[in-house]
């Protein structure tokens, strides 16, 4: 195979690339280190390359070629960046597990890449120049041992492992190094799971509880319906399949950050949209007191039951079941003065942004928007800006070390304030 193909680029071709900036999704942008032969089209390719770092020279094999771009894996490092380290996991390289994107970079470098990518997204999508620092969280061991929920895939032979990157092929592993020790102790990869499609393990580090959920096969079901998580100075019941932050330090950090952002006062009325098990609603209810009110909205039935259970000691906090946009479209902001939004990766529906902005200066004085997707967050911040809001503060948290994911908090306030 040639390092610079003269004809149309194809999957399996090997290219020598100079690696440029980090890009969203755990990729870097690669550029051909030498010009292709006359008549070739490889020089026009935009190549997104994994397992490389900015500033490196690599030899990379193309794994996908489209009319607009190509994807590649760096299989040989010709000139290494100073931030490069040896991945702690043997499955973290080309052809291995797709769960970790940045094990070959130091933690400091990983956070710098994430900060640069967030800034890129806000500049490109929202037109904002945003200084970003990605803050570490307490509760991991140098970026390892933090993931409190892991879905293990099961192959046709009944062996449990993790999916290869951009594939449904199962990589058999012994231990996942980013999994919390309580997950590893479940021994999922050391057992056979005939007929199963997947095995989910969720743990609660604060109480030592663990739930195992099997999808498919004779052992389908769960060994525990809920877990008791600890955060913000109290306990929370969370369904075994329900949403809870997977990093053991994230729930505490985000609860503190939301309170710091919203600065709730006794008597305030607060909204918590996409409330899950009620973490933010609970800390806001304690802050606004019985003279205030919290209106929480959640669509998932199990999460609604958990939230109502978790908020039973603060009857001024009520949970509505339904789609957030539809519920707020029906009841309006209900006189709320502050709001926290924690939507799924897809972000907010435009109708919800309109409804939250409808009251004008007499309405919300501040919104805390929690997001794990900088692109949809930037899009929604831009939509709020068109309706008279400004980005007052921004924070980012390294809630997913070794991966490209990051948790963000955008604080919005009316532009005239």
**Measured distance CA(305)–CA(296) in Å, rounded:** 12
Residue 193, Cβ neighbours under 10 Å: how many? Answer: 24
Cα angle value 343/244/373 (rounded, 5°):
35
Most confident listed range (9-13, 94-98, 289-293, 357-361):
289-293
pLDDT tier, 1 (very low <50, low <70, confident <90, very high otherwise): very low
Percent of the chain topping pLDDT 70:
94
Which residue did the predictor score with more confidence, 202 or 416? 202
The 8-class DSSP code of residue 327 comes to H
In this structure, of 9-13, 175-179, 244-248, the range with the lowest mean pLDDT score is 9-13
- The confidence score (pLDDT) of residue 360 equals 64
**pLDDT recorded at residue 37:** 52
- Examine the pLDDT at 290 and tell me if it is beyond 80: yes
Write down the pLDDT at residue 223: 87
- The predicted model gives 111-135 an average pLDDT of 98
Confidence of residue 2 (pLDDT cuts 50, 70, 90): very low
281, 335, 358 from 329: Cα distances, Å: 20, 13, 10
Catalytic residues: 372
For residue 358, the model assigns a pLDDT of 86
Given a cut of 50, is residue 273 above it in pLDDT? yes
Which of 18-22, 68-72, 100-104, 221-225 is the least confident region? Answer: 221-225
Q: What pLDDT does 6 receive?
A: 58
**pLDDT-derived band of residue 44, with 50, 70 and 90 as boundaries?**
low
Give me the pLDDT at residue 20, please. Answer: 97
In whole numbers, what is the pLDDT of the chain averaged over residues? 94
**Beta strands at 269-273 and 293-298: parallel, antiparallel or unpaired:** parallel
**Residue listed under structure tokens 């940045």:** 102
Average confidence (pLDDT) over 33-60: 78
Tens of pLDDT, residue by residue over 51-67, are 999 999 999 999 999 98
Q: What is the pTM of this model?
A: 0.94
- The reported pLDDT for the residue numbered 4 is 61
pLDDT digits (tens, 9 = 90+) for 384-404: 999 999 999 999 999 999 999
d(CA 306, CA 226): 9
- Extract the tokens encoding 68: 């607009």
**What backbone phi and psi angles, to 5 degrees, belong to 219?**
-100, 15
Domains of the chain plus CATH, in order, are 1-84 (2.40.50.140), 118-138+245-414 (3.40.50.150), 149-232 (no CATH)
Count of positions (residues) in the chain? 417
324-331 and 350-357 helices, crossing angle to 10°: 30
Burial of 129 (0-12, 13-18, 19+ CB in 10 A): exposed
Q: What percent of the chain has pLDDT over 90?
A: 90
Average pLDDT over residues 310-315: 98
38 pLDDT exceeds 90? no
Reduce the DSSP state of residue 144 to 3 states and report it: strand
pLDDT (0 to 100) of residue 117: 98
* Gap between the Cα atoms of 248 and 306, Å rounded: 19
d(CA 397, CA 140) in angstroms, rounded, equals 13
Count of CB atoms situated within 10 Å of the CB of 167: 11
CB burial readout 266-275, b (16+ within 10 A) else e: eebbbbbbbb
Q: Which of the 8 DSSP states describes residue 84?
A: B
Q: Report whether pLDDT(42) > 60.
A: no
């Amino acid at each position: 195979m040639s390092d610079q193909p003269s004809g149309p680029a194809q999957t399996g071709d090997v290219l020598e690339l100079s690696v440029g900036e980090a890009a969203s999704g755990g990729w870097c942008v690669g550029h051909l280190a030498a010009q292709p032969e006359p008549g070739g089209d490889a020089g026009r390719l935009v190549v997104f390359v994994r397992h490389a770092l900015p500033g490196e020279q690599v030899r990379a094999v193309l794994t996908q070629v489209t009319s607009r771009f190509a994807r590649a894996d760096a299989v040989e490092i010709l000139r290494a960046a100073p931030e490069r380290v040896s991945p702690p996991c043997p499955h973290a390289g080309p052809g291995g597990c797709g769960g970790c994107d940045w094990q070959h970079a130091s933690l400091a470098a990983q956070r710098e890449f994430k900060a640069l990518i967030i800034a890129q997204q806000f500049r490109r999508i929202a037109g904002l120049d945003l200084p970003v620092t990605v803050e570490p969280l307490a509760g991991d061991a140098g970026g390892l041992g933090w993931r409190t929920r892991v879905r293990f895939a099961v192959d046709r032979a009944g062996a449990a492992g993790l999916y290869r990157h951009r594939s449904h092929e199962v990589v058999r592993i012994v231990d996942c190094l980013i999994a919390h020790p309580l997950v590893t102790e479940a021994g999922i990869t050391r057992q056979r799971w005939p007929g199963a499609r997947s095995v989910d393990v969720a743990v609660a580090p604060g109480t030592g509880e663990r739930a195992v959920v099997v999808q498919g096969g004779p052992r389908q079901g769960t060994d525990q319906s809920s877990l008791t998580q600890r955060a913000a100075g109290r306990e929370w019941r969370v369904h075994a399949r329900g949403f809870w932050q997977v990093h053991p330090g994230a729930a505490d950090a985000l609860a503190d950050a939301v309170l710091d952002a919203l600065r709730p006062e006794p008597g305030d009325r607060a909204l918590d949209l996409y409330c899950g098990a009620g973490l933010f609603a609970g800390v806001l209810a304690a802050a606004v007191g019985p003279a205030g009110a919290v209106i929480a909205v959640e669509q998932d039935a199990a999460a609604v039951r958990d939230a109502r259970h978790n908020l039973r000691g603060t009857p001024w906090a009520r949970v509505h079941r339904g789609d957030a946009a539809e519920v707020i479209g029906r009841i309006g902001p209900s006189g709320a003065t502050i709001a926290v939004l924690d939507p799924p990766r897809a972000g907010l529906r435009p109708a919800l942004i309109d409804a939250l902005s409808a009251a004008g200066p007499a309405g919300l004085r501040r919104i805390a928007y929690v997001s794990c997707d900088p692109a949809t967050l930037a899009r929604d911040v831009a939509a709020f800006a068109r309706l008279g809001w400004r980005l007052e503060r921004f924070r980012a948290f390294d809630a997913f070390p070794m991966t490209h994911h990051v948790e963000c908090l955008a604080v919005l306030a009316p532009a005239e304030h």
